[in-house]
Structure 1
Amino acid sequence: MRYYAAMLHMLDVEKNKKVLPYHIEYLDKLDQQGKVFGRGPFSDGSGGMIIYIADTLEEAQYMAENDPHVLEGVRRLELKEWEIWKIS
Structure 2
Amino acid sequence: MKYYAAFLTMKDEAKSQKHRPEHLDFLEEMRKQKRVLLYGRLVDGAGGLIIYQGNNLEEVTEWVKQDPYVEVGARGYEVHEWDMQTDYKISE
Name the counterpart of 1:79: 79
Q: Distance in 2 between matches of 1:21 and 1:50?
A: 16
Alpha-carbon deviation of 1:58? Answer: 1.4
Show structure 1 runs of 4+ deviating over 4 A: none
Secondary structure in structure 1 of the residue aligned to 2:3: strand
> Normalising by the residue count of structure 2, what TM-score does the alignment of the two structures yield?
0.91
Structure 2 unaligned spans of 5+: none
Name the counterpart of 2:30: 30
Cα RMSD of the aligned pairs, angstroms, is 0.9
Question: How many pairs were matched up?
Answer: 88
> Normalising by the residue count of structure 1, what TM-score does the alignment of the two structures yield?
0.95
Alpha-carbon deviation of 1:37? Answer: 1.1
Secondary structure in structure 2 of the residue aligned to 1:51: strand
Q: Aligned letter for 2:65?
A: E
- Percent identity, please: 39
Is 1:64 the equivalent of 2:71? Answer: no
Largest Rg, 1 or 2: 2
Q: Distance in 1 between matches of 2:79 and 2:65?
A: 10
Q: Aligned letter for 1:7?
A: F
Deviations 1:22-41 (A, max 9, x none): 00000100001111110000
Specify which structure has the higher proportion of strand: 1
Q: Distance in 2 between matches of 1:57 and 1:45?
A: 26
Structure 1 unaligned spans of 5+: none
